[in-house]
Structure 1
Amino acid sequence: MFIATLLTSPETPILNRETVESLRNAWGGGDARWLDPGVAAEFPLANVPDNVDQVWHDLQSLKLDLAVQPGAGRKKQLLIADMDSTMIRQECIDELADEAGVGAHVAGITARAMNGELDFEAALRERVGLLKGLPESVIAGVIRDRITLMPGGTVLLNTMKAQGAYTALVSGGFTAFTAAIAARLGFDENRANTLLVADGKLTGMVADPILGKEAKVTALEEITTRLGIGADQVIAVGDGANDLPMLHRAGTGVALHAKPKVQAEAKIRVNHGDLTALLYLQGYAREEFAA
């Protein structure tokens, strides 16, 4: 059995019964279950329809997301999440670069790197090099004044942890940021790169080895081994090209508001929902959410 999930942004609950029933009838699905009126609904399918991708594209113009996945084992025991532009709205290195007066230049490199147009490690070293001499104290100010959480993150973490799941924040960004965001949201652990500091200033270098796309897969494999579970029990979320191997390895890999290259390769794409979409995709109804 498979499950088709339709969802949209909780801020604009525009999913209507007509749309759900029309698609259910066209695909010969079972009875629809409303997970959250106006926001998310699902129905069972015997097979994956041949036109899933076309329907997904058609629904995008209506600001609706669609996913079809196996029905068994949807509720996961491990959440692995990217940080920048996933659990938070910003790219931390871009915010630091703005403080250093090179914001636009670095943001351009970041955008290309996240779309897979540049080698991640080389692009990271280049961008960090442009931060040389920036006072370390600026980091705390950026976290306080510039960083905002992606909607739905707190509910996602609280709900999965209430159900016994383990949570890990795994970022190609920096530990100075992941430590703060992990503490704010309640992640069980966090992994990222380390900015090197000397005499209270950034040296323009990052500690080796660089945590890139391979390291994210390694984190998934190490944590699942430690927990004694398989990769099929993992839900992973990210937006950049360096997240793709992790998304492919996880039982459920979700590209959230992702870059074009990521959307082209990911099986599950969410462009309109927020982080609570990961709960709906697991079959959680709104009344099951932990505040």
Structure 2
Amino acid sequence: MTHVVTLVSNSARPVLDDEILHIAARCLPAAQPPQWLDHPIAADIRFTPASVDDDRATDTRLREALAGIPIDFILQTVATRRKKLFVADMDSTMIEQECIDELADFVGLKARVAAITERAMLGEIAFEPALRERVALLRGLSADVITKVIGERITTTPGARTLIQTMRARGTFTALVSGGFTLFSREIAAMIGFDTYRGNVLIIENGRLTGHVKEPIFGKSAKREALEFFRATQGIAASETLAVGDGANDLDMLLQAGLGIAFHAKPAVAAAAHARIDHADLTALLYAQGYRRAEFQQ
């Protein structure tokens, strides 16, 4: 069997059962009996496509068959499913907030800044000018607020630490790449357990934000280039890379990875990525690689 479909439900509200697995198996040519990775949360079905170009057709059949059922699925080749490089977006992916929106709350502009953030993540406006505009609104804010936001407002996405700890225990190199700020990504990378991080640098003078960010801005192309850099320096094949994100500025990175997963993402990103997670938490990325619950690290 050359291919595998991994079906995953939300671990807090698992719904995966034999009937759903049977529905999925009927969409797959030469399907093998399902193998549970974590009953009743995740299972694999291995199969051999009718042709080398059948992946998109298989994806469509599965999506139509599972419509209305809160189940995610990831379709890929078996040979390269375990990844050696993992690159992840931060805001609304590895954490549940948008850091810049939380900073804006301290100057009474959260709604205004959040609206710009949403348009940028949808791809309606370019990321770089949108970031400059939002940072300008933070001029004069005490840099001490960043520590307060991290301590009081930032929560990691369910499954985040388990995902990173499990992959690192198996030798995967992990990198947090953020269109946000290094003052956040440095702390959050350490909190979750990433090997390294990248992000934008806020300019601070006399303990206060100047309203400017260091150029060039770490945006859409920079995320893709970071993935390429880590792959080259670690000597990892493109097929052995995994990336995850939710916004338009993540899409180039997702498409460059061997497997790019849109996590609770904007519609255009979810439609274009190799796979999408709409229901499950971040441990779905472990099941996608064939990890069983007993192998998870906390």
TM bracket (short chain): over 0.9
Aligned mate of 1:46, from 37, 45, 48: 48
- The residue aligned with 1:145 is 152
1:118-168 C-alpha deviation (Å, 9 max, x unpaired): 010000000000000111100100001110000001110111011011110
- Deviation per CA, 1:19-75, whole angstroms, max 9, x where unpaired? 102321342411211011011111111114625225325535211112211111110
Report deviation, 1:185.
0.9
Alpha-carbon distance between aligned partners in 2 of 1:89 and 1:289, rounded to the nearest angstrom: 22
Cα distance in 1 between the residues matched to 2:27 and 2:17: 16
Q: When the two structures are superposed, what TM-score results if normalisation uses the length of structure 2? A: 0.95
Aligned equivalent of 2:132: 125
Q: 1:138 to 1:215 in 2, by over 3 A?
A: same
Runs of 4+ in 1 over 3 A off after TM superposition: none
- AA aligned to 2:297 is A
Please show how residues 90-239 of structure 1 align to structure 2 within 5 Å: 90-239=97-246
2:199 aligns to what SS in structure 1?
strand
Instruction: For 2:224 and 2:27, locate their aligned partners in 1 and report how far apart those are by CA, in whole Å.
Output: 38
Distance, in Å, in 1 between the alignment partners of 2:177 and 2:74 is: 24
Query: Are 1:84 and 1:91, in contact at CA under 8 Å, matched by a contact in 2?
Result: yes
Change (3 A) 1:60 1:272: farther
Corresponding residue for residue 277 of structure 1: 284
Counterpart CA distance in 1 for 2:157 and 2:66 is: 23
CA contact (8 A) 2:89 2:176 kept: yes
Separation (CA, whole Å) in 2 of partners of 1:240 and 1:57: 25
Amino acid at match of 2:11: P
State how far apart, in whole Å, the 1-side matches of 2:101 and 2:27 are. Answer: 45
- State the 1:252 CA deviation: 0.8
2:262 paired with 1:255: yes
Cα deviations across residues 63-96 of structure 1 (Å, max 9, x unaligned)?
1112211111110011100000000000000000
With the length of structure 1 as denominator, give the TM-score of the two structures.
0.97
What displacement does 1:275 show?
0.6
Q: Distance in 1 between matches of 2:162 and 2:286?
A: 9
Instruction: Say if 1:279 and 1:175 are closer, same or farther in 2 by CA, change over 3 A.
Output: same
Q: What secondary structure sits across from 2:92 in the alignment?
A: coil
- After TM superposition, give the deviation of residue 173 of structure 1 in Å: 0.4
Q: CA RMSD in A?
A: 1.2
Q: Distance in 1 between matches of 2:292 and 2:64?
A: 25
CA distance in structure 1 between the aligned counterparts of 2:61 and 2:268, rounded to whole angstroms:
18
For structure 2, the residue ranges without an aligned partner over 5 or more in a row are none
Question: Which deviates further from its counterpart, 7-16 or 52-61?
Answer: 52-61
- Report SS of the residue matched to 2:66: helix
Q: Indicate conservation of the 8 Å contact 1:65/1:273, yes or no.
A: yes
Q: Give me the whole-angstrom Cα distance separating, in 1, the residues matched to 2:137 and 2:155.
A: 24
Number of aligned residues: 291
SS at match of 1:215: helix
- Between stretches 277-286 and 224-233, larger displacement belongs to 224-233
Letter in 2 for 1:25: R
1:223-274 deviations in whole A, cap 9, x for unaligned?
1111111221111000000000000000010100001110121120000111
Q: Secondary structure at the match of 2:113?
A: helix
Residue 37 of structure 1 pairs with residue 44 of structure 2: no
Query: Which residue in 2 is equivalent to 1:12?
Result: 13
What is the distance in 1 between the residues matched to 2:106 and 2:123? 26
- Structure 2 CA distance for aligned equivalents of residues 53 and 113 of structure 1: 28
